[in-house]
Chains A and B, each alone.
Chain A
Amino acid sequence: MTDSNATRVHLTLDSVLDSVETVETLAETFAQRAGFDEDTASQIAMVSREATVNAIVHGNQYDPAKHVNITMEITQAILEIRIADEGAGLDADALPDPLAPENILLPSGRGVFLMRAIMDEVHFHKLTPGTEIEMVKHRDQKETHP
Chain B
Amino acid sequence: MSMKFTTREVNGVTILDLSGKITLGEGGATLRDEVRSIVSKGSKKILLNLADVNYIDSSGLGELVSAFTAVKNAGGELKLVNLTKKVRDLLVITKLVTVFDVKDDEASAVSAFA
Which residues in B have their C-beta under 8 angstroms from that of A49? 23, 57
Q: Does A142 contact B (CB under 8 A)?
A: no
Q: Tell me which of B10-18, B83-91, B105-113 binds A.
A: B83-91
Q: How far is the CB of A83 from chain B (nearest CB, A)?
A: 15
CB contact list, B17-65 vs A, under 8 A: 23-25, 55, 57-59, 61-63, 65
| Chain B binding surface, main DSSP class | helix
Give the size of the chain B interface in residues (CB under 8 angstroms): 25
Q: Tell me which of A4-12, A63-71, A99-107, A125-133 binds B.
A: A99-107
Give the size of the chain A interface in residues (CB under 8 angstroms): 26
Q: Does A81 contact B (CB under 8 A)?
A: no
- Minimal Cβ-Cβ distance residue in A for B99: A104
Question: What is the bound-complex CA distance between A98 and B63, given in angstroms?
Answer: 15
Q: Are B86 and A42 neighbours in the complex by a CB distance under 8 Å?
A: yes
Q: Does B66 contact A (CB under 8 A)?
A: yes
Q: Are B89 and A46 neighbours in the complex by a CB distance under 8 Å?
A: no
CB contact list, B56-85 vs A, under 8 A: 57-59, 61-63, 65-66, 68-69, 85
Which residues in A have their C-beta under 8 angstroms from that of B63? 107
Which residues in B have their C-beta under 8 angstroms from that of A57? 24
Q: Are B90 and A114 neighbours in the complex by a CB distance under 8 Å?
A: yes
Q: Are B69 and A17 neighbours in the complex by a CB distance under 8 Å?
A: no
Q: Are A104 and B96 neighbours in the complex by a CB distance under 8 Å?
A: yes
Question: What is the bound-complex CA distance between A92 and B86, given in angstroms?
Answer: 26
Q: Are A99 and B59 neighbours in the complex by a CB distance under 8 Å?
A: no
Q: Are B66 and A107 neighbours in the complex by a CB distance under 8 Å?
A: yes
Question: What is the bound-complex CA distance between A117 and B55, given in angstroms?
Answer: 17
Identify the A interface with B (CB < 8 A): 17, 20, 39, 42-43, 46, 49-50, 53, 57, 98-99, 104-111, 113-114, 117-118, 145-146
**22 residue pairs A–B, Cβ–Cβ below 8 Å:** A17-B24, A39-B86, A39-B89, A42-B55, A46-B57, A50-B58, A53-B24, A57-B24, A98-B94, A99-B94, A104-B98, A105-B68, A107-B62, A107-B63, A107-B66, A108-B58, A110-B58, A111-B58, A113-B58, A113-B94, A114-B58, A117-B93
